[in-house]
Structure 1
């Protein structure tokens, strides 16, 4: 049996494109923070990937060994930003900056218990703002000129709208027939 998968690629081409979400009340109360995981940790990144993607069939990185994870998290221009609610990881966003000033949001999502509580809009706002100033933290890189991401019809029901509300514009749409069941090629499957 076949199903249809639609993938939307979205971008911002100027820092002014970002339309930040209103901060959840938990931020003002000191209960919600977004922090860069400044020490690259293959195990922590593997945990985040599995915890966010387990119920939504993220599978493309499941076969990565320790060395592949290490190479990814230690690559210059790669950053992981983590949302914590009262000390508990609630979700994460990965940035992968290229020397030419293009930054991809490679993964973005929330653990199931934290979805639908406005944390995703806040995390995406903080992460996108960090993408726009990535060159300041990684000397030798060109100033960010484009931030992009893609999402698909298998992603959370609010993903596409969250990107649009944050100022991302669709620049490509692809539809393909896929076998029914879990996908094995989710490359960037943001969940909000």
Structure 2
């Protein structure tokens, strides 16, 4: 994405809020797990507390929790560490929240916050294991696919980073 698109309307129910995640690594990791476990997100789980702190405490990284008044239900992380660029590091919702407009709200926030800075490119990485609607959602939001790459990692269910029952829709080979 090279420029901010027109945003689709999105509102949150009363009592919902977007809260900056600063300093509370346990809250961040718990939300990351709740959002990402169905899609085999593991990158923030397998790093040390020091490595996570170095990322989240960097003034060029912004992490937010979407809170529904009782619990964290969404994660938004923006990374501005490369000059002139913004990366949508993570955007996701806990199961049961998908399809209710919260994702559109988070994406609008991401786009608005990204283009509030002097950037030439806003980008996101996704993968085959992401939610089946993720790629279309990114395209509808204004992102344009520009590269296909193959990355190979050990299955986090086999390494023990995630429980073996995580992401049952994805075959487990070991």
TM-score with structure 2 setting the length? 0.78
Kindly provide the CA deviation profile for residues 15-45 of structure 1, in whole angstroms up to 9, marking residues without a partner as x. Answer: 2xx2323214xx2x523333333x3432222
Question: Which structure is higher in strand share?
Answer: 1
Aligned counterpart for 2:2 among listed residues 13, 18, 23:
13
Distance 1:158 1:31, change over 3 A: farther
State yes or no: 1:36 paired with 2:11. no
Rounded to whole Å, the distance in 1 between the matches of 2:150 and 2:52 is 30
State yes or no: 1:117 paired with 2:100. yes
Match of 1:138 in 2: none
Native 8 Å contact 2:42 2:156 kept in 1 = no
Aligned counterpart for 2:133 among listed residues 147, 154, 158:
158
CA apart distance, 1:108: 1.2
Rounded to whole Å, the distance in 1 between the matches of 2:30 and 2:44 is 11
Rounded to whole Å, the distance in 2 between the matches of 1:183 and 1:148 is 30
Match of 2:47 in 1: 64
RMSD between superposed Cα atoms in Å: 2.5
Rounded to whole Å, the distance in 1 between the matches of 2:8 and 2:39 is 24
TM-score with structure 1 setting the length? 0.72
Distance 1:64 1:110, change over 3 A: same
Alignment of 1:22-101 (within 5 A): 22-24=9-11, 27=12, 29-37=13-21, 39-101=22-84
Kindly provide the CA deviation profile for residues 68-123 of structure 1, in whole angstroms up to 9, marking residues without a partner as x. Answer: 11111011210012222234211111011025220111111111121122211221
State yes or no: 1:144 paired with 2:119. yes
Structure 2 unmatched runs, 5+: 160-174
Native 8 Å contact 2:35 2:93 kept in 1 = yes
Say which SS state the counterpart of residue 170 (structure 1) adopts. Answer: coil
Structure 1 unmatched runs, 5+: 1-11, 136-142, 185-192
Say which SS state the counterpart of residue 98 (structure 1) adopts. Answer: coil
Say which SS state the counterpart of residue 66 (structure 2) adopts. Answer: strand
Match of 2:86 in 1: 103
Relative contact order (C-alpha < 8 Å, sep 6+): which is higher? 1
